[in-house]
Every structure is written in structure tokens, then in C-alpha cells.
Structure 1
């Protein structure tokens, strides 16, 4: 499905009926041949937006998957770059693709780091966390950063109700809620649970100072709003 190298419809169904961890373990060998991988356009625009915000020493990719975001860290960090994920299958693919990086298997809701990094990023992962789980994630990233460190991630803006994308994402989230209501274990993946205002509030509560930059290179919706923004959450220099 999607391409000759991608998963079949049967494989996707098995993955969708598994837990998040098991599902990604199964999908890992073919993940980079699906539309679920963060597009190069988003990675490139994010890297460009970060170019004037460094320099950074050590970098961390949170929910790194197969390592698509590692080139962003490599282009902006002078020191060691690390990826963390809870899927052994995804990490195995990442190690093969980026043998020069450090890889850690962990639940990112309980990150095992303390002031180790200058830059943290995440790409396309926030939909895997229920709103009630975001505070633990953001607090862990805050602890992982040194004072003055930056947590950055692209966030899509809601398409207007008149667009096809609006109804596609609405339908996907509805189908996922029905699936999780009738089938266990749950597979958490929603497109509409990370509005900017709520994400900003959770980051601020974790201690970050938050700004947002439009990723103009990724275009605009018909209403003139940017399709993507880069959220920039800075750990204050005088934090402890």
C-alpha cells in the first residue's frame, strides 16, 4: 500500500488493531515508505527556522521513530545527537540509518535525562498523547534541557471547515475514537487534540517561555493563515 515498498492493507489493519508500541514495531521496516513519516519539506523548513537560534551543542529527538528528524539535529548541533523512542522496531531502523547517533529506548512520558541537552525536537508525535499525558511529556523535556535550552516542533494549523483536509482529519479522529471504545489495547493517534492554545498552556505550565514562528515556506490555507508553525519553547536561563 502507498508504494511497492510500503505496507499492505492487511499489515496496516494488523498494526491498527495493536497497541501503539506493538503497532510501530510491526510497521517499522516499512514506515519510511508511508505518508506517516514526516515529509522532508517540514523537516527542512524546521531546520531553516532553527538556523538563527543556536548555536546548540547536544540535541535530542523525542519520539524519534526511524530517525527522520536526526538530520535536523545534525545540521544544527555541534555535539552528540540522541534519539529516544519506546518502539524497539523503530529504534532498530534508526540505528541502521544513523549509526553515528545515540539511541535510547524509553517511555517519553518519563524521560531519563537531566539537563543533558541544548536542543530538543519532536516531529509528528504529539497526536500519540492524550491531552492529560502532555504535561508529563513536556515536564520531562524541560528536565532534559539545560537552562536556556530550546524545545522546538512544527504544529499544523487547523484547516478551514470548507476544506477537504478538515473533514478527513475529523473523520479519522472519529474513527479512532470508535475503535478505541470497542477494542483493546487502544491505539492513540489523533489529529485534532493538539490545538496551539492548549499546547502553549501546557508548555507554560511546565516552565517554558513560548513563542511561535510561521513556517512560511510550507504555504498558507485559503484563509491566509500559515499551514504550519514552529513552536519554540525555551527553558529560562535562570531556571533550576
Structure 2
């Protein structure tokens, strides 16, 4: 699962015993060599699904990490793309990655900016037409989703989109189900015994609850199958794109 350039077991252990922010600062130089990075196939599929909805002017990659999602935004947005993350280490890697790929401010194509901020307190106001996020929602507890989605709603212009892929949960009969269940159980024990907490739960982000909270935050939500990943045995898609549209200029009240 890890390439030779990836983190050692000791480095992963040190990260897991840190806070989320400091843990990602430590992991940043080797993050792109881990299975935690969103696969290119998912990024390409999301870009393909969003292309007919665009073009967009300004895009935001929420919890951008090392900036893989900026490639998606750069192909969809005409004026600017912004990556926001609260890990300085991840942003440093993202800047270097963007510069080497020619996605620097002033280069041909949309301008690129990087902002260090918490996704639960975004420093923008109705500045974007498209917000995307990849693989970050496990770092938010279910009770934090109303506030998070309200924040995203507030930084979108009327008619703007909030889009992210969602993988179908594995069946109880599959090894992946028990692996994720075990991972979440270990993290809960770790957080009960050790401070600061490291919030990362794979099974806490449930699609039904997510759709309900997006609607409550003021979005109109559509689901699109990403056909590149096929179907499960019951005919349902393995991967969906959630496309949530801000339909008017009214921002809902802050979540309680």
C-alpha cells in the first residue's frame, strides 16, 4: 500500500500520536506516496463529471492537502483557484507541486493562491463558483457537519456548486468492511486515552445524513454516478459525485 518513498511505521506512529494539524505537517513530505492521497482516477472522473456544468470562474479546494484537487480546478475554472488547508506543511508541499506543474500565479491559466485556514472558519465571503473536496471529511465529527456545510454555503456565490466524491460503503461480508471498522475502533480508543485527539473516522461520514445536512444548510443536492468505477452487486454505483448547488443569495443562520 505504501511505496518505498512513503513514511515508515515509526513515522506513522508519531503522526498518529500528534494532533491532526501537526500530524499532517509531519506527514506532508511523504503524503503523496501513501494510499491516503486521492487516486488520479477519482480526480479525473470528478473533473469529467463537472465539466458539462461549467465553466466556472473561481474555485476553492477545501482541505486541499498537497494540492491534488487543484489540477481538477485548474481545468474547470477560468480566473482563479485557491487551496485552503490548516496544515502549513501540506500547503508548502502543495506550493512546490503547483510550481513544478506550472500552476503558479502569473502562469498561463487561472491564478493560484494558497490560504492557511480552518475549514470550519473560512476567511472568504461569496467568492467562489465551485468548491471541491477530496478525502477530508473523515476529519470532521458528525456534529461538525452542519457548521462546515454552512461555511461552504457562505463562500459560494448564488448558483455555485459544492462537489465531492463519495464511495459506497463496503459490505459486511468484505474484508474492507472489517478493516475500516477496526481502524475506527482503534482511533476511538486512541482518542479516549491520548491527547490531543486525532480525528479520522472512515465510517462516520454517512451519505444519508450528509444529504440531510446539505439540504438544511441551504443546498439543492444532486447525485451523479461516476461510471468509471462500475456498480455493486445490487446495481448501485460504487462511487457517486455529490453536487450541491447554492440556489439563492440567502445564507442560512449559523448552525447551532
TM-score (norm 2): 0.91
Following superposition, the deviation at residue 237 of structure 1 comes to: 3.6
Aligned positions of 1:109-188 closer than 5 A: 109-188=120-199
- Answer whether contact 2:18 2:197 (CA < 8 A) is retained: yes
- Structure 2 residue corresponding to 1:210, chosen from 203, 221, 227: 221
CA contact (8 A) 1:113 1:144 kept: yes
CA deviations over 1:120-176 (Å, ceiling 9, x no partner): 000000000001111111111101100000000001111111111111111111111
1:84 corresponds to 2:84:
yes
Secondary structure, counterpart of 1:119 in structure 2: strand
Deviation beyond 3 Å, 4+ runs, structure 1: 237-240
1:23-42 alignment runs, 5 A limit:
23-42=23-42
Bigger mean CA offset, 217-226 vs 151-160: 217-226
How many residues in Structure 1 have an aligned counterpart in Structure 2?
A: 240
Aligned to 2:72: 72
Structure 2 residues not aligned, in runs of 5+ = 105-111, 252-256
Shift of the alpha carbon at 1:200?
A: 0.6
Instruction: Give the structure 2 partner of residue 190 of structure 1.
Output: 201
**SS class of match (1:57):** strand
C-alpha contact 2:157 2:249 (8 A) present in aligned 1: no
**Is 1:18–1:187's contact at 8 Å kept on the other side of the alignment?**
yes
Residue by residue over 1:9-56, the C-alpha shift from the partner in whole angstroms, topping out at 9 and shown as x without a partner, is 100000001000000000000000000000001101111110111111
Contact preservation (8 Å) 1:129, 1:189: yes
Q: How far does residue 223 in structure 1 lie from its aligned partner after superposition? A: 3.3
In the alignment, is the contact (CA less than 8 A) between 2:127 and 2:157 conserved in 1? yes
Q: Does 1:105 find its partner at 2:116?
A: yes
TM-score, normalised by the number of residues in structure 1:
0.97
1:238 Cα deviation from its structure 2 partner: 4.8
State the 1:221 CA deviation.
2.6
Please name the residue that 2:44 is paired with.
44
The alignment's C-alpha RMSD in Å is 1.1
Between the aligned partners of 2:10 and 2:93, the Cα distance in structure 1 is 21
Check the 8 A contact 1:160/1:221 in 2, yes or no.
no
* SS of corresponding position for 2:198: coil
Unaligned 5+ runs, structure 1: none
